[in-house]
Structure 1
């Protein structure tokens, strides 16, 4: 029986004008996105239980990852880039967004160092997101170094699949354990409308390549939008009948209609002032213990549930691409 879950998204360990780290438990308090995972059995269930601390785990855990409610957070998301080769209508405006200057982005070595701190404290799963993570030139080396971290049990990626087919064999060699491919429609013309780009055939090829390479299951994320692709739900479920595919239907919950009105956007710098920066102390020479204290303090500030949901309703829009996946 597969389960419906919502991932903790209320604790960002971010980097001003740079990459994002999000730390949380796989199953946690409610968030703005609800997910249904389905297999060919078409079974559904729900769970919103918090992931409580289990000291019987074989990997050592640090108090740094335990929040004030006793929950252990062992799942880390790393947004490698804001850049993307698609322009999905619910993610960014057609003209794109102003990108962060490259010098302000975390380097490969900085990402690996910070990830190492999290893993040494008890994180056992890392997911690479974006933007589109596969367009980062050093993605293979990042995977190789992260997969070598002692204590890491799963290295995953969320990708739109446009360039994945060509890169996946090497990524697998570098330690990529699992993947989620975003695909909102099985109709090529509709794909071009939703993403403002061609490439439906390349995404389907990436799914087939992942299956051929032995990824089981291949997880497909589908954002369901009324009047656009809600008529394809059964078609997506049919994909799972004879192939090792799990389709995750993600409920689209627009705020203010997701209208891209520049006047309504909260300035990026203003938003980032509320995010814990690890990049700045890292580059200022902070040692590992100082970084652990910053991380631990951020985790301790996590809310019991629905953190910031009332404030979200009052907040003007900003592109999803700047939020990080």
Structure 2
């Protein structure tokens, strides 16, 4: 088997696929003021194009897939795509990231499609604040979706919180308490400056401070990461059914063990979330490109993957591309 191994000897076996740049929320750290430019339908990869790239990626060692957006559930046919992916025996892990707005109505179909692991973005447990952060009064729908997924048997259910100073950092303890009641994996994510958003670096609150606050709930007992786990540093409070994790892309970057590639909705392969460099697939796909040509695009992207993301440098610049187009 060919392998996607970069110059730092990192084996890139994880492909995150954005299937749409559309979203039914307008989160502060993702959406700019005013009208959000949308990709024309003609520029979005079809499901057949995505599946072709997945199968080529599998031949290069891809074994883990996560479907993202935008909000993936707003795209027609998304659940059928999930079903087709989970039916591929070479894929060891297929999961979904969603904002949860459409989760309650679709949870059973998603489960029946073979998905067991879901991530739900939830940046506040307070209804009015949730509306402020996301632009829409949807907290009750999201929480109902999480509860429905829990009832059906999804595991793990990961709840992703982008911690922002002066915006939701007073809820850190409340989010941590969820792990004492539910078997949820609570994930605190450092805010990263990506695209033109309504938040700034001054809103950052880094993982060490978050962890220090969480310890008020009790001793954080380290949990060993599994083979298919992401970069979160995982902990559990004694007796808790759930976990607490910290994703510290800035304060303790995990570039040295990054195993990810990202395919954007319009067919750009990005080797790093925090870099604007990409290799384009769409033109080759639609102009009769051979599998060998597509394999070479994968390999070119991997060969250019930097040792560290650009925000590690002293003269770092924010990523220019919009988050909803890149995928989470």
TM-score band (shorter)?
0.7 to 0.9
Question: C-alpha separation between the residues in 2 aligned to 1:119 and 1:148?
Answer: 13
Q: CA deviation at 1:192?
A: 0.6
CA displacement 1:73-123 (0-9 Å, x = unmatched):
111000010000001111112434110110111011111111111123221
Unaligned runs of 5+ in 2: 201-265, 271-275
Gap change, CA 1:296 and 1:308, over 3 Å in 2: farther
Q: Matched residue pairs, number?
A: 255
Q: What is the alpha-carbon root mean square deviation over aligned residues?
A: 2.5
Query: Per-residue CA shift, 1:180-213, capped at 9, x if unaligned?
Result: 0000000000001111111100110111111111
1:285 aligns with 2:285: no
TM-score by length of 2: 0.72
For residue 186 of structure 1, what is the aligned residue in structure 2? 125
Tell me: CA distance 1:162–1:67, structure 2 relative to 1, closer, same or farther (3 Å).
same
Q: Secondary structure at the match of 1:293?
A: helix
For the residues of structure 2 that align with 1:311 and 1:208, how far apart are their CA atoms?
43
Asked whether the 8 Å contact 2:56–2:295 carries over to 1, the reply is yes
Give 1:255 shift: 6.9
Q: 1:86 aligns with which of 13, 25, 33?
A: 25
Query: Which blocks of at least 5 consecutive residues in structure 1 are unaligned?
Result: 1-60, 262-267
Q: 2:156 matched to which residue of 1? A: 217
Report whether the alignment pairs 1:62 with 2:19: no
Residue of structure 2 equivalent to 1:301: 304
> Which deviates further from its counterpart, 156-165 or 210-219?
210-219
Instruction: Determine the structure 2 residue equivalent to 1:7.
Output: none
After TM superposition, list the pairs within 5 Å mapping 1:243-262 onto structure 2: 243-254=182-193, 258-259=197-198
Moved more, 116-125 or 151-160: 116-125
The structural deviation recorded for 1:129 is: 0.7
State whether structure 2 residue 49 is matched by structure 1 residue 110: yes
Match of 2:142 among 203, 206, 209: 203
User: Structure 2 matches for 1:36-55, cutoff 5 A?
Assistant: none
Instruction: Compute the displacement of 1:300 (Å).
Output: 1.5
CA contact (8 A) 1:164 1:206 kept: yes
TM-score by length of 1: 0.73
In 2: Cα distance, 1:113 partner to 1:321 partner: 23
SS in 2 for 1:292: helix
Partner residue, 2:177: 238
Structure 2 counterpart of 1:26:
none
Does 2:97 align with 1:158?
yes
